[in-house]
Structure 1
């Protein structure tokens, strides 16, 4: 049987072995992303809520293509926490590599494709830059903007 990944982030959404992975991702309207200090606490005022449907779709698409890695894992503290409605994922990201982990299954990781990692990394970098400029964020909530598509 072919395993399906659910389209985010983180994200979530994701692989059949994850809780809630068969839920329709087309109904996910927002993604919350936090910068993390460690597995249990986020950086103060780091929440970014993404509501732009194209950006949400890009995150979900990247998460849905993630490949399950075999074996038990021991990971460093995550860079991000991604909330997709009732699912939460941890995210480790660089320019060419990305890894996600369901917060309810911390013994399993999923590797993002190189293109998905690049897309999500560029998105987060753009969001951080625009948050600093306060151009497309209102109260740290992403609104539809040509800068973010």
Structure 2
């Protein structure tokens, strides 16, 4: 009998970015509040994959959750995420998820 156990991190580490490859110094924030972590997790789970060629400006943030890293863009009209190991695919955040992320990050 094989038993699989899923392990989730209980925190999110977020950094502001200058560019895709450069972190803005002294900006790392760690979110440990269960509700805040769940907001990040829900945003990822609800995000909608967009078709086409990805051509975007430098991301505002990079965050790590559950062993994966993501780029994050937040703007007035919503937001987007992209896994750092798959820069050919971008996901649109649902409006409510983007709003909640803005509240947590700001």
Q: If the length of structure 1 is used for normalisation, what is the TM-score? A: 0.65
Other structure's SS at 2:23 match? coil
Deviation at 1:62, TM superposition (A): 1.5
**Which aligned segments of 4 or more residues in structure 1 are displaced greater than 4 angstroms?**
none
Q: Which of residues 46, 53, 59 in structure 1 aligns to 2:40? A: 59
Structure 1 pair 119/58, CA: closer, same or farther in 2 (3 Å)? same
Deviation at 1:58, TM superposition (A): 1.3
Specify every segment of 5 or more residues in structure 1 that has no aligned partner in the other structure, as ranges.
1-22, 126-149
Q: If the length of structure 2 is used for normalisation, what is the TM-score? A: 0.89
CA RMSD, aligned part only? 1.5
- Does the CA-based 8 Å contact 1:95-1:117 persist in structure 2? no
* Residues matched between the structures, number: 102
Match of 1:80 in 2: 61
Deviation at 1:74, TM superposition (A): 1.2
Q: Which of residues 115, 122, 141 in structure 1 aligns to 2:96? A: 115
Specify every segment of 5 or more residues in structure 2 that has no aligned partner in the other structure, as ranges.
none
